[in-house]
Amino acid sequence: MPECDVILAHCVAYLARAPKSVEVYKAYKRVKQTIDQGNDPDVPLHLRNAPTKLMESLNYGKEYKYNPDYEDGAVDQTYLPPELVGCEFLQAKNWVHKKE
């Protein structure tokens, strides 16, 4: 296993003990329904990697704002495809945990 095995084990333990909510299942179902209805938009061009000259000429990665290059890492950048802007898959307002 790679040298990150302890970190991965830590993540598994943390997530296993973290509070759970049925909202995650509902959100996953909403995402699947959106995709099944044919709304499977492409990744925005500015977020795509451009490892080849062809991809670079197609504007892959153009105008991407690399967060570490900005003060406090704050960047005004859209990450969702335009077709998904405004979609609310995870409705956090209903996020309720059981009390122990």
| Domain boundaries of the chain, sorted by first residue | 22-42+82-95, 45-79
pLDDT digits (tens, 9 = 90+) for 10-38: 999 999 999 888 888 999 999 999 999 98
pLDDT band at 91 (very low <50, low <70, confident <90, very high): confident
What is the pLDDT at residue 38? 87
CB 79 within 8 A of CB 44: yes
C-alpha torsion angle, residues 20, 25, 31, 36 (rounded to 10)? 160
What is the pLDDT at residue 40? 85
d(CA 20, CA 65): 34
Q: Is the dihedral of CA 45, 46, 47, 49 positive or negative?
A: positive
Look up tokens 């990450």; give the residue: 79
d(CA 59, CA 39): 23
Residue by residue, DSSP assigns 2-45 as -TTHHHHHHHHHHHHHS---THHHHHHHHHHHHHHTT--PPPPG
d(CA 56, CA 38): 28
What is the pLDDT at residue 96? 60
pTM score of the predicted model: 0.64
